């Protein structure tokens, strides 16, 4: 399942996109956003609903599981009923999936066909986030049995 994606836009670019979509966006101050690949435990830009528009925060990817080791980085989206305050969007330019059972695994990049970011639907808990997953589309199905829930910019308001 997805364990790497890329965020490659500046704060100003996110503000311009959100303004075009009449969503507005704010943070306490323009943050120094990570640039390039984001992997589990690293911080990523997460947009969430706020009373005066949309808020951007830098949150770490993954939280400790209830039992065991590692991090919860992906959650099945089916049947989830997260309240609005526990939802968000992780803007991204592309994500990666891997095929194979033994290293080195083949790495595949998936990116939108237009010059506009997609956003992952995420669940937010205790100041951390996890990607929501769904059944794969035809592009990803040959490589993996799940994929992140992706949203076009025009759908971010929902």
Write the DSSP assignment of 33-73 as a string of letters: ---EEE-TTSEEEEEEEETTEEEEEEEEB-B--SSSSS-B-
CA separation for the pair 102, 90 (Å, rounded) = 29
Mean pLDDT, residues 51-73 taken together: 88
Q: Residue 154 contacts by C-beta under 8 Å, 6 or more apart in sequence?
A: 21
**Residue 31 pLDDT > 80, yes or no?**
no
Helices (H), the chain: 11-20, 138-141
Instruction: Name the residue ranges covered by the structural domains of the chain.
Output: 5-155
Q: What is the pTM of this model?
A: 0.85
Q: What's the CATH superfamily of 5-155?
A: SOS response associated peptidase-like (3.90.1680.10)
Q: What is the pLDDT of residues 81-138, one digit of tens each?
A: 888 788 999 998 888 888 877 888 888 888 888 777 788 999 999 999 999 999 988 8
**Residue 78 pLDDT > 70, yes or no?**
yes
């Amino acid at each position: 399942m997805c364990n790497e994606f890329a965020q490659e836009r500046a704060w100003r670019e996110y503000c311009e996109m959100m303004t075009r979509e009449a969503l507005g966006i704010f943070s306490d101050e323009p943050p120094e956003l990570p640039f390039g690949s984001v992997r589990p435990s690293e911080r990523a830009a997460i947009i969430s609903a706020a009373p005066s528009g949309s808020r951007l925060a830098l949150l770490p990817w993954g939280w400790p599981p209830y039992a065991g080791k590692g991090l919860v980085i992906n959650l099945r989206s089916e049947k989830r009923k997260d309240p609005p305050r526990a939802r968000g969007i992780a803007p991204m330019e592309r994500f990666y999936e891997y095929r194979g059972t033994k290293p080195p695994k083949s790495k595949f990049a998936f990116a939108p066909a237009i010059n506009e970011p997609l956003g992952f639907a995420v669940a937010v808990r205790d100041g951390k986030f996890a990607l929501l997953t769904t059944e794969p589309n035809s592009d990803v199905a040959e490589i993996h049995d799940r994929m992140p829930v992706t949203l076009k910019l025009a759908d971010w308001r929902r």
